[in-house]
Structure 1
């Protein structure tokens, strides 16, 4: 049960940190979270763990927090800023991949003891890296689009839950399917690929269901004027 209990703690810490970033740095905190979180999630996904006797990769909670940050930006500041944040997250991952591949190319010193560890983490299988980047950019843009469409019908503060659930749960189907197909199709049995898709999507869905209250906390802080003085630095 350790992984399951620690998973709950990790979930709480992740979303509390997200809200704190917004409280301390305003919209720039959310934008920075998306950039940092995308890099972290793409490193976490390398590690496989067992939850309730089911194999799963890490990164699902962090990816869910990125979607929530995007939804908050979209809801409060508009679709244009949310899309820019998505591209920033994509660019951050791309920069990490390029720079770390160049770093690994250097011939290590005889006394170096980190090359192998760095290769294990950053010498990512090209298909997995490609799948992650493509799934991220398409899934996030779809999330922004769906959120804006749903907002036209359900626009009040009380219906943020409808916008967040609807956009994220639908876009995550596309995000997860693209990643799993690009990364694993053909290299693993079809049933195994399907199981990875199901378990990954379920974990993202569970994270999404329980993270929306943190979105309401962020929106409440903005509505009460606790963020205005931070965002005012742009003016």
Structure 2
């Protein structure tokens, strides 16, 4: 029961921090969130937990927050800014992988106590690292495209929920399927791979369903003029 309760707390804290970044730094705060979030999520995904009677990896809430940040950027600032943020997130993950892999190859001092822990965390299995990067860049670009297409039909402020849900639900299917197939297909039974896909997608969707109010909150800050000076100040 602890994991379930702490999962709810983690969800709330994550999205409060996202909104706080936007309130403090404007659109640059959301772009920074995407960069930070991709790194955190790719570290979290290493850990497996049991929650709501299913086994799942961490990172789903953080990935959901990245999608919401992208949707907010797309809705307020346009597709070009959202795509730039996606590439910054991708680049951040790539830099982390390259730099940390190089760091691991330094010969540690005899008094070093961190090499084994760092190796466990950052010596990513190539397939998992590849799957994560490919799934992220394709899934995020699809989300940006679908959001823009839906916005052409449902453009009012009240229909942000339709744009956010519609784009994320579809793009997350592709994102999750690509990651699971690249990372795990052939290395474990097909039934296990399918179970990982279902549980990962389900948790992402639960996070998406409950995160849209935070998106409306962020948009209301922009409408009330609380963000414009922050955007102009950079």
TM-score, reference length from structure 1? 0.99
Q: CA-atom RMSD, angstroms?
A: 0.4
Deviation sequence 1:95-145 (CA, Å, 0-9, x none): 000000000000000000100000000000000000000000000000000
**2:82 paired with 1:79:** no
Q: Give the Cα–Cα distance (whole angstroms) in 1 for the partners of residues 105 and 62 of structure 2.
A: 29
Q: Give the Cα–Cα distance (whole angstroms) in 2 for the partners of residues 52 and 144 of structure 1.
A: 31
Instruction: Return 5+ residue gaps in structure 1 as ranges.
Output: none
Deviation at 1:27, TM superposition (A): 0.2
Deviation at 1:177, TM superposition (A): 0.1
Deviation sequence 1:50-106 (CA, Å, 0-9, x none): 012210000000000000000000000000000000000000000000000000000
SS at match of 1:152: helix
Aligned equivalent of 1:40? 40
Q: Give the Cα–Cα distance (whole angstroms) in 2 for the partners of residues 28 and 229 of structure 1.
A: 12
SS at match of 2:155: coil
Deviation sequence 1:5-30 (CA, Å, 0-9, x none): 00000000000000000000000000
Q: Give the Cα–Cα distance (whole angstroms) in 1 for the partners of residues 172 and 105 of structure 2.
A: 35
Aligned equivalent of 1:116? 116
Q: Give the Cα–Cα distance (whole angstroms) in 2 for the partners of residues 231 and 93 of structure 1.
A: 25
Instruction: Return 5+ residue gaps in structure 2 as ranges.
Output: none
Aligned equivalent of 2:226? 226
Deviation at 1:233, TM superposition (A): 1.4
**2:96 paired with 1:96:** yes
Aligned equivalent of 2:27? 27
